Amino acid sequence: MNRRKALVTGIAGQDGGYMAQLLLEQGYEVVGAGRRVCIAELGEGVKPVACDITDAGAVRDLVRAHQPDEIYNFAAMSSGAGMFDDPAHIGVVNGLAVTHLLEAIRHEKPSARLCQASSSEMFGEVRTSPQSELTEFKPRSPYGAAKVYAHTMLRIYRERYGIFACSAILFNHESPKRRPEFVTRKVTLAAASIKLGLASEVALGNLDARRDWSSAEDVVRAMWMMLCHSTPDDYVVATGVVHSVRELCEIAFRHVGLNYLEFVRQAPDTSRSHEQVQLVGDARRARETLGWAPRVDFETLITSMVDEDMRRLRETERRTEVR
């Protein structure tokens, strides 16, 4: 019996890496696509392919050549502090490129199933909480607007052409692979660095800001379950529970035996305007339809990130001593 084949775009990112790992565990043949793909970073079992998702011809060639049964699209420009950087290019990468994928599926592999990594940033200026699949989109950034365009195109292609396309509306999700510019990783890396004597403090914005944080491993499992289901749909993926940056600091620093109050300096937070309504996800549809539920709690997630930061910093110190 032939193994199912999956194409994972944005393979070098946090989510792409975890998705590839999950698919390999499930016995898939995995093709990982990105603009710059490093074989060593992907791990054994993933076939790396260089592809610029903004190039419609290249995307169509990619689907034609590999004939994937499933496609998971994580290719996107950054969220967080980068949501306003180069708005036109964000529109191409996060929005128009998804249409390239849909067109490639339509012409080259109509039976392929697609799961798009959408974002809670599509909700933007929310008026009701929690947010579900029926909540109005009112994005506040080019990033969110581009994601809304992609989300809309998925629905159009699903209804007009019968393509099996799902939108995973992902709320904040983290892991030890999260990049340092995100607040969770900034905090865990600071806790580890201060514990090892490599730093003395960390400056953060609003400590009372609250987010619905999931584990990246839980998120990609939900996306896989969407494509395993009999019918395509859109799903919010979130825990439904919010935690403050202050709680994040407390957990991270306590894990290494420190009191965050002695090391965290609060600086003015100019990156985001104050949110009048809490951004928190209602994942009832995913729970009831797919049987999905998060497995990793917030404290376990944060302490695992601290542990990984400690490991990396100690490894760096050892290499420096050897030199």
Query: How far apart are the C-alpha atoms of 193 and 15, rounded to whole Å?
Result: 25
Region 147-173: what's the mean pLDDT? 98
Dihedral angle, C-alpha 69, 75, 79, 84, nearest 10 °: -130
| Residue matched to tokens 């199933």 | 113
The predicted pLDDT at position 85 comes to 77
Taken as a whole, the chain contains a residue count of 323
Query: How far apart are the C-alpha atoms of 299 and 115, rounded to whole Å?
Result: 29
pLDDT at position 207 over 90: yes
Single pTM value for the model = 0.94
Band the pLDDT of 35: cuts 50, 70, 90.
confident
Architecture of domain 5-174+216-237: 3-Layer(aba) Sandwich (3.40)
Q: Which residues contact 292 (CB under 8 A, 6 or more apart)?
A: 221, 222, 225, 237, 283, 286
As a whole number, the mean pLDDT across the chain is 93
Nearest Cα neighbor of 211 from 192, 184, 191 is 184
pLDDT at position 41 over 80: no
Query: How far apart are the C-alpha atoms of 89 and 319, rounded to whole Å?
Result: 39
The predicted pLDDT at position 222 comes to 98
Task: List the domain boundaries for the chain.
Answer: 5-174+216-237, 183-211+241-279+296-322
Domain 183-211+241-279+296-322: CATH superfamily, name plus number: UDP-galactose 4-epimerase, domain 1 (3.90.25.10)
Q: Is the peptide bond before 130 cis (omega within 30 degrees of 0)?
A: yes
Nearest Cα neighbor of 167 from 155, 177, 184 is 155
| Residue matched to tokens 């989510």 | 15
Burial 149-179 (b: 16+ CB within 10 A, else e): bbbebbeebbeeeebbbbbbbbbbbbbbebe
pLDDT at position 194 over 80: yes
Grouping H, G, I as helix, E, B as strand and the rest as coil, residue 166 is strand
What are phi and psi for residue 199, nearest 5 degrees? Answer: -150, 165
pLDDT at position 196 over 60: yes
Domains 5-174+216-237 and 183-211+241-279+296-322 are alike in CATH topology: no
Band the pLDDT of 81: cuts 50, 70, 90.
low
Of 203 and 84, the structure prediction assigns the larger pLDDT to: 203
Helices 216-228/14-25 angle, 10° precision? 60
Q: What tens digit of pLDDT does each residue of 233-242 get?
A: 999 999 999 9
Band the pLDDT of 274: cuts 50, 70, 90.
low
Grouping H, G, I as helix, E, B as strand and the rest as coil, residue 223 is helix
Pairing state between β 46-50 and 29-34: parallel
Of 216 and 271, the structure prediction assigns the larger pLDDT to: 216
Q: Which residues carry out catalysis?
A: 119, 121, 143
Cα angle 221-40-71, degrees, rounded to a multiple of 5: 35
Region 221-232: what's the mean pLDDT? 98
The predicted pLDDT at position 259 comes to 98
Q: What tens digit of pLDDT does each residue of 259-269 get?
A: 999 999 998 76
The predicted pLDDT at position 130 comes to 97
What are phi and psi for residue 192, nearest 5 degrees? Answer: -65, -45
Of 82 and 283, the structure prediction assigns the larger pLDDT to: 283
Band the pLDDT of 44: cuts 50, 70, 90.
confident
